[in-house]
A and B are shown apart, each in its own frame.
Chain A
Amino acid sequence: MAQQLVFDPDTCTECRSCEIKCSFIHFGVYNANKSGIRILTDWPEPPRARLCRQCEDPACLPACPVDALYVQDGVVKVRYDECTGCGACVDSCPYDGIWLDPLSGVAVKCDTCDGRYLCREVCSVAALSVGEDAGVSGAEPLAGGVGVSPTFPSSPSLSPGSVR
């Protein structure tokens, strides 16, 4: 089972840089709807995050009628070219961890960036960490400084699929 991204609501400042870092890495554009992490505001209370839990027994996989979801190294991923945007996976997820991008229609979720969890690079308060226990604050940032690595990767596409 892959480790899920863990979110600390008490540290998050709701800047949403994680959202657009994610969409840029995966789709080459800045668009929160194409991000595998979503930050939900609840002023004055702390925010909530929508995130895939990387379930051992994912409900989304069997729900997909066209087999657009698959597992690789314990992570559920989307075949964007096959996804029809029917939303069955969205309905099936008990954690609100997958959603549709309204522009392209495809399902979007956290795929851990092949175990690199690159959203952490842009979190200036280290509210994002990797691990199975929730509520870990002051989590270890990526090497190179508080929440920032020395260089960003060039813009690869880490998942197969095209931008619509």
Chain B
Amino acid sequence: MFECYNRRLLRINLSDRTHSVEPLDDDFIRDYVGGMGFGTQLLTTEVPATADPLGPQNKLFVCVGPLTGTLAPLFAQTCIVMKSPLTSGIINTYAGGHLGVAIKQSGYDVIAIEGVASDLVYVTITPDGVRIVDCPELRGKTAREAEAAVKAATGRDDLHTMAIGLAGENKVRYASLSSETRAFGRGGAGAVFGSKNLKAIGVAGIEDVRVADPPAFEAAVAAIYRTLRDDMARPWSLLAGFSNVGTGVGMAMVNEKNALATRNHQLTHFEGASRIDGAAYRENFPTRPVACFGCLVHCGMLHKASTRFGELWTRGPEYETMYSLGSLCFNDDPEALMKANLQCEDHGMDTLSAGVNIAFAMECVERGIIPADLGDGVKLEFGNADAIIRLLEMIAHRQGIGEVLAEGTRRASQVWGRGSEKFALQVKGTEFAAWMPERMRGIALTFATSNRGACHKRAPIGLEISGQIPMDQIEGRAALVKDIQDKVNAIFTLVSCRFAEFAVPLEQFVDLLNAAAGTDWTAERFLWMGERLWNMERLYNLAAGISGEEDRLPERCFEVPADFPADQKPLTREDFNALLQDYYRLRGWNEHGVPTAERLKMLEL
């Protein structure tokens, strides 16, 4: 039993520069499964709910799962659980690529990072041991440069890495962790690294990855291969679209439905979208798909190009970035968007939060709240790509208005005032993802209620955008959202890629888990486990001071964009409140969004 686990946690104390190994016992493994489950239990028990996310008490739990490193496709993700500098609540953030299998093979299921180093350091975890190394020479370097330096220093070409850039060092609240061609984008993991004086981590391992029941596991892997293949052969398959042009396939789809947030949500349709969507990049720039470990979808589009900014190569932009630094800022310049994507990769910033902050600032200029001049004749205004590129630098360096925007739109709107909080697109401090609550009720509810803020990962996007369920109706929507939130939590313990859920039924996830771990989960109990984790996060956030009052959307979402489709119903406060109360009831929470004793008992909390 539990052959797929290493059953070990590596704890690294940056203050003392020590490390230790702790066993993970059977009860912990059985109850929390892996990934987000491990991380949530550890964070909620070890870090006080009121701790400062950028202070010494915060910890990062880097977690892999029972299926990490196996042949099961779409399980390459690594999960980091920590307190977010944006929300001050708990957050789980993910990156694909090849870091997860390296962690699994290094012999650990969890790497816990605590304390604060006295000077800038990097950490390496290899068969030769754990090293904490001073690296003053890496200060100010891009994430890519830092990752290359750490790899060169170990002399190992099997080392996989994650690193911060300048934004993390400067504790920009939405600084990300770049990991080779992927990133832990949301929530500010880069800032937490920066607050700990941690520049990078490199991991290499040589251990075998095993499963409890090899023939059963082979059969379950064959089954999921068939499921994915069948899905990708269908005419309207998101996964097939991803494998052809990347997540950017979504841009045209969403735009065509008048659901593409444009000009800080002033509009629902962007004329320039076809210049920056997935097909445009695939056709106009040299492109190569690169996959995460074991994945047959290969949605990662690596582009190389000679642009007016020089020779660039970057993986992306993703659909979400085509929104945040594209349509949201009224920018349809594909070269500039590629450059902006690379800046975020190099400086280590979440493209979503960065773009939403820039669009927010653009609207503040439009309304005369802040001046337009960024220096050197560059005017901050919608559609000016040069302004985007300039402002990204300013944010990473915390210069000029970059100092204010580095704190995130919520804090920026508090500083600049004058009603700007109405169009600051954030919930609980986390900036919006690339979807319009104005158009999609599931998005409206999940943005408002997700534990990590305005998050799209737990939304019935496929059903709504395809028209299988009407986007603007609330009937049954709360139940759908709760189900997806619980389900995605559950599969994020394995650690599944979000996209697997678009095609794979819950039973197949459970089959893989049982064959790998020797357990006897049912789909019902697995879903229950996801709901349990959701409530653990909720309780922690309540203790952190994030009340049900914050289960709400900014005013902008209740305004009707000028190009809103005539045959669709706009989002009303009545509808939103009805959705929210329905959701609370289904969740077994009171009218203020607090879990009742009865529900907690059912969840064994």
User: CB within 8 Å of B: which residues of A?
Assistant: 10, 13-17, 20-21, 24, 27-34, 40, 43-44, 46, 101-103, 122, 124-125, 145-148, 150-155, 163
Contact = CB atoms under 8 A, between A and B. Distances in A.
Contacts of B157: 40
B218 A125 contact: no
A31 B294 contact: no
Contact of B291 (A13, A21, A102, A151): A13
13 contacts: A13-B291, A16-B98, A17-B294, A20-B69, A24-B214, A29-B209, A30-B69, A30-B70, A31-B208, A33-B206, A102-B127, A148-B229, A155-B214
Residue from A43, A46, A153 whose CB has the most chain B CB atoms within 10 Å:
A43
Nearest to A30: B209
B492 interface: no
A155 B218 contact: yes
A15 B71 contact: no
Contacts of A34: 208
Interface residues on B, range: 35 or more
B313 interface: yes
A10 B292 CA distance: 17
Interface stretch (B18-26, B219-227, B432-440): B219-227
Nearest to B303: A44
Contacts of A124: 243, 296-298
Given A17-B71, A101-B206, A122-B71, 5 more contacts: A24-B218, A28-B210, A31-B206, A124-B296, A155-B215
B288 interface: yes
B294 A16 contact: yes
A15 B207 contact: no
Interface string B449-483: 00000000000000000000000000000000000
B313 A14 contact: no
The secondary-structure label for the interface of chain B is: loop
B69 A44 contact: no
B296 A43 contact: no
Contacts of B221: 152
B291 A14 contact: yes
B181 interface: yes
A28 B210 CA distance: 8
B298 A20 contact: no
A126 to B, nearest CB: 12
Contacts of A30: 69-71, 208-211
A146 B233 CA distance: 10
Contact of A28 (B158, B214, B226, B291): B214
Contacts of B101: 32
A13 B301 CA distance: 10
Given A125-B298, A148-B229, A29 B210 contact: yes
A139 B207 CA distance: 33
B70 A20 contact: yes
B252 interface: no
A43 to B, nearest CB: 7
Nearest to B296: A124
Contacts of A44: 288, 302, 304, 313
Contacts of A15: 291-296, 298
Contacts of B127: 102
Contacts of A33: 206
A153 B214 CA distance: 11
B302 A31 contact: no
Contacts of B180: 43
Interface in B109-130: 127
Given A15-B296, A30-B209, A31-B209, A151 B222 contact: yes
Contacts of A163: 208
B207 A103 contact: yes
A31 B105 contact: yes
B73 interface: yes
A10 B302 CA distance: 13
B570 to A, nearest CB: 42
Contacts of B219: 152
B565 interface: no
